[in-house]
């Protein structure tokens, strides 16, 4: 923790969330801490004006109508182009900073020996990359946060510490990226629970690889899982993931669902309902694809235990899944040829310079002293 205290520029004086004047609606849900382990239900307090995606929403007159109808939406220009370009530059510099031979101007240097570990799906999960300053700056971009504030009708949000995507074209040095159509939500917990997002940072046309979504799949989710409940399950490490089998894909097609690869400009925010089937495609061109996954949820959906676990993840500079309540936390130990990567990093190269908004998104300001943080410790973290 000392490194965090001495090096982060947390310039905030966040106030405790004022829940007294918030009109509450109460929904009881279950959640799962790990495969096979069910934990007590958390009561969700959602604003009555939060988007519901259940047929009862008003006409919003913006991208939220797309989200309700299709299960996904593109928020154009959530980040101004010049800022998006700077973030992409920082991401290229981060890759080159390993000094393994990768050169952004020479695609022949795209090779696993010259790069940190990146999966065939473009995911970079270790090296504390999720806490690099560029990632936190993107999470705090007003146009990104405000999209989630609109959906949940609250400014009291927390954000995931999810993967960073470095998708390079024509890779033959790593396994092929095969489709893994899935939804990121437990089928036993229906309804709109989570809005996922990613910020696109490079030009991304129809053939450039990236997110592909099943249009309208969210509206058929309950019916699908009821009718397909006896279909053999694809193994998953968490109940908050469900993979679509070939039969499942046929069911979606038979019910008129079409798959759509989303195109985007640098700075566009792509959003999708966690029930919407999706996966990502590799590029068919020479265009790389960079993206930061950004998922926010109302802090009211998280327990104090969740927030303490989330704080610990931040202090250890490790990641989470897309679920911001940090039920699952990651590791910074990447493997290279079966061994721990000698280039592993356990803290960011450029530690996040947080402002009041980003600090609130860590969830730390919402931790009650009696939940495990003393006033002295809280003060030290903020300084």
Site residues, Fe ion (CB under 5 A): 184
Q: What distances in angstroms separate CA 263 from CA 63, 210, 229, one per listed residue? A: 15, 8, 33
**Which residues lie closer than 8 Å to 376 by C-beta, 6 or more apart?**
none
Residue whose CB is less far from Fe ion, 184 or 186:
184
DSSP reduced 3-state for 210? strand
Residue whose CB is less far from Fe ion, 133 or 162:
162
Residue whose CB is less far from Fe ion, 156 or 184:
184
Least distance to Fe ion, CB of residue 214, Å: 12
Residue whose CB is less far from Fe ion, 184 or 301:
184
CB-based contact 359:14 (threshold 8 Å): yes
Residue whose CB is less far from Fe ion, 71 or 365:
71
Question: Which of 260, 280, 162 has its CA nearest to residue 217?
Answer: 260
Least distance to Fe ion, CB of residue 238, Å: 11
Residue whose CB is less far from Fe ion, 121 or 343:
121
d(CA 146, CA 144): 5
Residue whose CB is less far from Fe ion, 90 or 135:
135
Region of 53 please: left (phi>0), alpha (psi -120 to 50) or beta: left
Least distance to Fe ion, CB of residue 7, Å: 32
Can you read off the two tokens belonging to residue 243?
């993979």
d(CA 323, CA 310): 11
Least distance to Fe ion, CB of residue 200, Å: 15
Least distance to Fe ion, CB of residue 274, Å: 8
Sequential DSSP letters for 307-328: HHHHHHHHHTT--B-S-TT-SS
Least distance to Fe ion, CB of residue 278, Å: 6
Residue whose CB is less far from Fe ion, 160 or 204:
160
305, burial (CB in 10 Å: exposed 0-12, middle 13-18, buried 19+) = middle
Least distance to Fe ion, CB of residue 253, Å: 20
Question: Which of 347, 356, 304 has its CA nearest to residue 325?
Answer: 304
Least distance to Fe ion, CB of residue 108, Å: 31
**Which residues lie closer than 8 Å to 248 by C-beta, 6 or more apart?**
181, 224, 228, 231
The DSSP element (H or E) to which 358 belongs, if any, is helix 356-361
User: Angle between the 142-152 and 63-70 helix axes, to the nearest 10 degrees?
Assistant: 60
């Amino acid at each position: 923790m000392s490194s965090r205290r001495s090096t982060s520029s947390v310039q905030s004086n966040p106030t405790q969330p004022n829940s007294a004047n918030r009109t509450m609606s109460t929904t009881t849900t279950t959640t799962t801490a790990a495969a096979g382990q069910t934990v007590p239900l958390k009561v969700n307090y959602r604003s009555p004006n939060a988007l519901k995606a259940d047929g009862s929403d008003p006409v919003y007159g913006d991208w939220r109508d797309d989200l309700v109808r299709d299960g996904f939406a593109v928020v154009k220009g959530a980040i101004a182009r010049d800022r998006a370009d700077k973030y992409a530059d920082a991401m290229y510099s981060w890759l080159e900073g390993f000094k393994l031979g990768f050169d952004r101007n020479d695609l022949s240097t795209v090779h696993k020996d010259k790069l940190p570990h990146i999966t065939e799906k473009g995911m970079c999960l270790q090296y504390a990359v999720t806490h690099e300053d560029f990632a936190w700056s993107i999470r705090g971009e007003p146009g990104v946060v405000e999209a989630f504030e609109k959906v949940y009708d609250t400014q009291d949000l927390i954000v995931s510490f999810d993967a960073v995507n470095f998708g390079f074209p024509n890779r033959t040095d790593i396994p092929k990226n095969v489709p893994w159509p899935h939804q990121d939500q437990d089928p036993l917990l229906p309804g709109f629970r989570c809005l996922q997002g990613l910020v696109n940072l490079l030009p991304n046309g129809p053939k450039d690889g990236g997110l592909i979504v099943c249009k309208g799949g969210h509206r058929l989710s309950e019916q699908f899982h009821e009718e397909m409940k006896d279909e053999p399950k694809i193994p998953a490490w968490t109940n908050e993931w469900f993979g679509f089998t070939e039969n499942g894909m046929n069911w979606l097609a038979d019910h008129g669902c079409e798959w759509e690869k989303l195109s985007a400009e640098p700075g566009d925010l792509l959003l999708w309902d966690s029930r919407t089937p999706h996966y990502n495609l590799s590029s068919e061109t020479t265009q790389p694809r960079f993206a930061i996954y950004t998922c926010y949820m109302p802090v009211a959906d998280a327990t104090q235990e969740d927030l303490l676990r989330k704080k610990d993840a931040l202090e250890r500079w490790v990641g989470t899944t897309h679920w911001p309540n940090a039920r699952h936390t990651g590791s910074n130990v990447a493997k290279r040829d079966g061994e721990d990567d000698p280039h592993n990093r356990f803290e960011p190269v450029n530690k996040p310079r947080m402002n009041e908004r980003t600090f609130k998104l860590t969830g730390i300001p919402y931790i009650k002293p009696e939940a495990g943080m003393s006033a002295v410790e809280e003060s030290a973290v903020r300084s």
